[in-house]
């Protein structure tokens, strides 16, 4: 274990924002992590995963810890179910591909989501009708106050839409070490009704899709409209899709008859990308920052030289314009430091 000083964090955030950490270390075992925390009790801590859901607006005056915990294990439950546990530092998409190669079902709709396994429960990542909570069994965490390991089950994680206990009262109190998922071995639930998956499968002339087919369709859809963070800085979807009362949606429908919405009880989820595009932001660039030309929901570091403040200011202008036109308050999905 080596602690470096004044280290650039540009390689550790997918926006490619160039800020520095006063101290920086990479951890590859739970024992090293515990020992590091004992030695640096007075330091402000920041744990880094894949860097895909973080936006730095300034240098970090503390200890940044890159979690490189690796390893995947399996435990067969019965003929149809298996528990698969991945360490926090495993790349999310590579983990999904590992499961698909084993013909384990449940994660295929979450293909190509950027980031690492350890951050997946934090915001209950989701896509195309599936969320982590649907296949989540438990996660092992380190209590940063007691330095004791605890197990969080589904109920204790208190998952919500892009939310969990780790973003609420548990924020800054725990670090996730590994996550266990309950997946299917043969009786897979194929979900192709959300978004453009069915259209993509029809285009490929696939009538009875496998979980591998669903994954390929999702990957193709995402690649066709979302920029690769390795090519241009971004953090994927920058905003949550707002959920508004049904009565408010019905009022908006009177004024904007083409507004899309997905009803869930007394609330309706409205696509944030649609709202942003209708306000004229799709493809728009101001200085170093832009809304992506194919997906308005994605804010990009267009020149590679954007500061975190520029990106935040750009997002604020989007929030203000959507609020003014539709009366809907967008919420940022990205964690701002």
Catalytic-residue membership of 243: no
Catalytic-residue membership of 293: no
Contact 2, 35 (CB under 8 A): no
Burial label for 73, CB within 10 Å (0-12, 13-18, 19+), is exposed
Return d(Cα 298, Cα 273) in angstroms, integer. 8
Return d(Cα 50, Cα 117) in angstroms, integer. 9
Classify 334 as helix, strand or coil: coil
Contact 166, 157 (CB under 8 A): yes
Question: Dmax over Cα atoms in the chain, in whole Å?
Answer: 61
Return d(Cα 28, Cα 328) in angstroms, integer. 43
Return d(Cα 133, Cα 135) in angstroms, integer. 6
Which residue is it, tokens 């989701």? Answer: 126
Cite the DSSP H helix spans in the chain: 30-39, 92-101, 154-157, 197-203, 211-225, 246-255, 272-278, 308-326
Considering 162, 178, 215, 310, which one is annotated as catalytic?
Answer: 162
Considering 111, 164, 237, 315, which one is annotated as catalytic?
Answer: 237
Catalytic-residue membership of 20: no
Classify 11 as helix, strand or coil: helix
Considering 108, 178, 310, 333, which one is annotated as catalytic?
Answer: 333
β-strand partners of 85: 73, 180
For residue 60, what are its two tokens?
């970090």
Nearest by Cα to 68 from 105, 40, 30, 101: 30
Nearest by Cα to 66 from 33, 93, 94, 38: 33
- Computed on alpha carbons and rounded to an integer, the radius of gyration of the chain in Å comes to 20
Active site positions, annotated: 162, 237, 333
């Amino acid at each position: 274990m080596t602690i470096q000083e004044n280290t650039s964090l540009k390689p550790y955030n997918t926006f490619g924002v160039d800020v520095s950490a006063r101290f920086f270390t990479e951890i590859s075992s739970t024992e090293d992590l515990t020992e590091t925390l004992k030695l640096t009790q007075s330091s402000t801590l920041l744990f880094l995963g894949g860097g895909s859901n973080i936006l730095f607006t300034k240098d970090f005056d503390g200890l940044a810890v890159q979690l490189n915990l690796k390893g995947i294990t399996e435990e067969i439950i019965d003929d149809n179910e298996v528990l698969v546990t991945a360490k926090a530092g495993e790349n999310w998409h590579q983990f999904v591909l590992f499961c698909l190669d084993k013909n384990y079902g449940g994660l295929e709709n979450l293909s190509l989501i950027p980031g690492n396994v350890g951050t997946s429960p934090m915001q209950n990542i989701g896509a195309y009708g599936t969320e982590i909570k649907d296949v989540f069994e438990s996660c092992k965490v380190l209590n940063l106050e007691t330095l004791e390991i605890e197990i969080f089950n589904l109920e204790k994680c208190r998952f919500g839409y892009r939310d969990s206990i780790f973003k609420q009262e548990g924020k800054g109190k725990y670090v996730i070490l590994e996550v266990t998922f309950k997946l299917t071995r043969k009786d897979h639930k194929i979900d192709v009704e959300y978004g453009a998956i069915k259209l993509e499968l029809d285009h490929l002339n696939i009538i009875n899709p496998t979980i591998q087919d669903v994954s390929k369709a999702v990957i193709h859809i995402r690649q066709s409209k979302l920029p690769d963070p390795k090519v241009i800085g971004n953090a994927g979807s920058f905003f949550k899709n707002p959920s508004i009362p049904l009565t408010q949606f019905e009022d908006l429908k009177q004024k904007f008859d083409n507004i899309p919405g997905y009803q869930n009880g007394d609330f309706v989820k409205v696509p944030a990308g649609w709202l942003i595009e209708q306000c004229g932001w799709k493809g728009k660039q101001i200085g170093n920052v832009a809304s992506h030309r194919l997906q308005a929901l994605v804010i990009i570091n267009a020149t590679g030289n954007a500061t975190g403040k520029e990106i935040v200011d750009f997002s604020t202008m989007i929030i203000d314009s959507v609020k003014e036109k539709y009366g809907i308050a967008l919420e940022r999905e990205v964690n701002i430091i």
